[in-house]
Structure 1
Amino acid sequence: MPTTVWPSIRSHVVRATKNDACGAPVIGPKSTIVSDGHISIKVSPQFEDGEETAPKNAAGKIAFVDKAQDELKYLNVEIAFLKVDPELFNMVTGQPIVLDHAGNATGIRIGATIRSNFGIETWSDVPGTACGPDGKLYGYALLPWLKDGRLGDFSFENALANFTITARTEANSPWGVGPYDVVLNAPVSPSTTPLAGPLLTPIAADQHIHMEPTPVIYPAPTAGAIALAA
C-alpha cells in the first residue's frame, strides 16, 4: 500500500467539543463551538523516563546496562487566542460566563479552578500537493480528551492582548470514531462516490492525538456554542 507523506502549514479553525467527566462527547445544546480566533496550538509530549539499571562489580566496572522503555504520560497543549470568546473559554476552563441585559454571552469571570473536559480539533493546509481525485487535502488533527483548561498570563497594554489556554491530554478516551464527519468513508452501494463520515477506526485507549490528511473541509466558525446532535 502506498504511503501519503504530507506537510502542514497554518491552522484554519479550532473546534472544541464538551466532554463529560469520563471523556465522552456530550450530546445536547451548547456542546460544540468552532472558532477562527486562535493564533497557535502548541503540543508538548511529556514522557516518564524508564528506570536505568547499571550495576557495578567490586572493581567499579559496569556489569551491564538495562534501561526500561520511556512512556508517554500525556501531552501538554497551549492554545493562544487573539480575542475573548466567552462560550469557548467557558467550555475549556469551566469558568462562568457573563451575560448582558439581553441574556447574551459577553464575558467570562475567572475564579477558583474548575475541572473541565473537552476535545479539540484543527485543520491545516497541505501545501505543495496537487488536488487529488477527492479534492484538496487538509491536515486534520484531533486531541480527543483534554482536561483542566486554565487561562495563562496576559497583559493590557498598547498592543493586542493575547489569551492563552493550557490543558493536558488524558488516556483512555471514549471518543471512538467521533461524532463528526471528518474523513471519507467507503461508498455505500449502489453509490461509487466516497462520502464524508467519522474516523475509520476508533481512538485506542493509549492514543492521545490523531493526525491525518483529509479532503473533508473544515467547518465554518459558529456564533458561539451550538448543539451537538446524536
Structure 2
Amino acid sequence: MTFTFFQASPELIEIMTGSPVYFDYAGNPIGFDSCSIPCNSGFALEVWTDVLGEDVCEDEAAEGAWVYFLLPWLTNGMLGDVELAGEGVNLELTAATRAGGKWGTGPYDVQAQDAAGTPGPMLTPLDSTCHRRMFISSVEPPEPSTTYLPVAGEYCMAS
C-alpha cells in the first residue's frame, strides 16, 4: 500500500515507521529520526471518505454517508518521497498489509447498531485471514487527529 499524507505529526511518523520522535528542550515532539526499518512494528489505519451522489443512504436517520476503509495491520512502514513546498510538506509512505492483527470489531464507533442510527463498533469481527474491510457507513467520522490516542481493550500490538 502507498499513501500520501499532507499533514503528519512526529508521533504519527513514529507509529507508522518505528522512527523515533525528536523532542525539544521542553519535551515537545518537534521532529523524527529516519532510521532502519524495524520489522516488529505495525499499525492500523482507518480512513473515512464522503460518498458522493444523491440518495446515498436508505437510512432515514442518517445525516450523510461515508466509505469506511480499514487496514487492521500494516507493517514495514517506509517513508518515500518527501516534498517540501511553500504550503507544507507532503510525505509518501509505503507499507505492507498483513492478515490478522486481532482487530475484532474494533475499538471505535464506525457503524450504525440499529434503525435509530446508534453508533457502535462493527457488527461482525474482521476474520483473522483478512487484510482489509471497506463499507458504507452512516456514522460520521471522528475529528482528524495526528497525535497519540489511547485504545481501550486488549489489542495485538505486534505478533
- Fold-level similarity (TM above 0.5): yes
Q: Which runs of 4+ in 1 moved over 3 A?
A: 155-161
Which aligned pairs between 1:106-185 and structure 2 lie closer than 5 A? 106-115=30-39, 116-130=41-55, 132-135=59-62, 136-156=64-84, 161-185=89-113
Which protein has the larger Cα radius of gyration, Structure 1 or Structure 2?
1
Query: Which whole-Å deviations, capped at 9, do the CAs of 1:85-128 have from their partners, x for residues lacking one?
Result: 20100001011001111111110000122232111011111111
**Equivalent position of 2:130 in the other structure:** 207
Give the whole-Å Cα distance in 1 for the aligned partners of 2:100 and 2:94: 20
Shift of 1:140: 0.6
Residue pair 2:80, 2:91 contacting (<8 A) in 1 also: yes
Shift of 1:186: 3.1
**Equivalent position of 1:20 in the other structure:** none
Residue pair 1:182, 1:214 contacting (<8 A) in 2 also: yes
Which aligned pairs between 1:32-51 and structure 2 lie closer than 5 A? none
**Equivalent position of 2:12 in the other structure:** 88
SS at match of 1:227: coil
Shift of 1:194: 4.0
Give the whole-Å Cα distance in 1 for the aligned partners of 2:2 and 2:74: 11
Structure 1: gaps of 5 or more residues: 1-76, 188-192
Give the CA RMSD over aligned residues: 2.0
The aligned amino acid for 2:35 is G
Structure 2: gaps of 5 or more residues: 154-159
Instruction: Indicate the larger mover: 158-167 or 90-99.
Output: 158-167
**Equivalent position of 2:119 in the other structure:** 196
Query: Which whole-Å deviations, capped at 9, do the CAs of 1:147-170 have from their partners, x for residues lacking one?
Result: 111111225577854211110110
The alpha-carbon distance between structure 1 residues 211 and 155, as it changes in their structure 2 partners (threshold 3 A), is closer
The aligned amino acid for 1:81 is F
